[in-house]
Amino acid sequence: MTSSTDLLLETTAHASLLEFLEDTEQVVKQVGLLLLSQFGQVLSQQKADGSLVTQADRDADTALVSALRQRYPHHSLLTEEGCQTFDGAEWCWVIDPLDGTTNFAQGVPIWGISVALLHQGRPLFGLGHFPPVQQTFWAAVGEGAFLNGNRLRTRTQDIGANDFFNLCSRTLNRYEVALPCKPRILGSAAHNLMAVANSSVRGGIEATPKAWDLAAAWVIVPEAGGVVRTLSGVDPFPLEPGQDYTNRSFAVLAAGTEEIWQQLRACLREAD
């Protein structure tokens, strides 16, 4: 049976996973430098869903799409600032060119780029790059998860009172939360979830993330030993051919283990 890594190398024409990683990382880090040059210096606009967008989002999207299309002309692309309808392609890149736009626009240094490569609608590879904090997460199915080259494993110990749990601002409008640890709202959906993989937080919830917020974390968290799952039980992946993902969101909870996921799920109750 062909492994996920073999499939990935075949479609990208790379000799090794390391070669593919280095090439993808180079593309993303170049865009990271572009974003750093505009950090805190751009004006934002409000989109129809209430989120913000800046010219930097659009510039980063254009740069990523151009670089990936040049390398992989047979791959499809689904991006937050571009095409948001999945065309059913066997291989598809899902891109959030600037996750944490509000932070970026306000000068808060927690934001980044999230990219994932999907096979038949399911993420096989994910990478999250957060330039201001110099963190680069990546994972491939069956190959483990890494942060700046160091292998990640989630913590399995019981949650302590001084441990952290990540929220998004919309969580507080939609759920009553009674946590066994300290809450934090950092403002980047991808970082919120990926932080579970390196155990800087014990869990994280996103109330309204889109497919591009989730795709990379959907590989990184499980490959580190963690659990990431929707609260409804309806998974965002595989993507549905012909589906427009512009307004589709999925409430998601991530945790270091299944037991901790269940413990944290019990702490969340939908608000009346």
pLDDT exceeds 80 at position 231:
yes
Enter the tokens of residue 82: 């571009």
**What pLDDT does residue 47 have?**
55
Nearest to 195 by CA among 265, 116, 112: 112
Topology adopted by domain 164-270:
D-Maltodextrin-Binding Protein; domain 2 (3.40.190)
Q: How confident is the model at residue 48 (pLDDT cuts 50, 70, 90)?
A: low
The DSSP code sequence of the chain is: ---HHHHHHHHHT-SSHHHHHHHHHHHHHHHHHHHHHHTT---EEE-TTS-EEEHHHHHHHHHHHHHHHHH-TTSEEEETTS--B----SEEEEEEEEE-HHHHHHT-S--EEEEEEEETTEEEEEEEEEGGGTEEEEEETTTEEEETTEE-----SPPPTT-EEEE-TTHHHHEEE--SSEEEE-S-HHHHHHHHHTTSSSEEEESS--HHHHTTHHHHHHHTT-EEEESSS--S-SPPTT-B-TT----EEEESSHHHHHHHHTTEEE--
Q: How far is CA 189 from the centre of its chain?
A: 7
Q: How confident is the model at residue 50 (pLDDT cuts 50, 70, 90)?
A: low
pLDDT exceeds 80 at position 202:
yes
More confident position, 10 or 271: 10
Domain boundaries, the chain: 4-151, 164-270
In this chain, the answer to whether the domains covering 4-151 and 164-270 adopt an identical fold is no
77-135 pLDDT, tens digit each: 999 888 889 999 999 999 999 999 989 988 999 999 999 999 999 999 999 999 999 99
Phi, psi dihedrals of residue 21, rounded to the nearest 5°: -60, -50
Query: Which CATH architecture group holds 4-151?
Result: 2-Layer Sandwich (3.30)
Enter the tokens of residue 23: 């090439």
9-23 pLDDT, tens digit each: 999 999 899 999 999
More confident position, 151 or 50: 151
Q: What is the mean pLDDT of residues 163-168?
A: 95
Packing angle, helices 17-38 and 4-12, rounded to 10: 70
Output the average pLDDT for the chain.
93
**What pLDDT does residue 200 have?**
96
**What pLDDT does residue 57 have?**
86
**Residue owning tokens 């934002």:** 44
**What pLDDT does residue 42 have?**
65
Nearest to 35 by CA among 93, 83, 81: 81
Q: What is the mean pLDDT of residues 148-156?
A: 96
**What pLDDT does residue 52 have?**
54
For 1-10, 37-46, 263-272, which range has the lowest pLDDT when averaged over its residues? 37-46
What share of the chain in percent tops pLDDT 70?
95
Hey, what long-range contacts does 79-83 have (CB within 8 A, 24 or more apart)?
A: 79/212, 80/210, 80/212, 81/53, 81/57
**What pLDDT does residue 82 have?**
81
Enter the tokens of residue 29: 């880090």
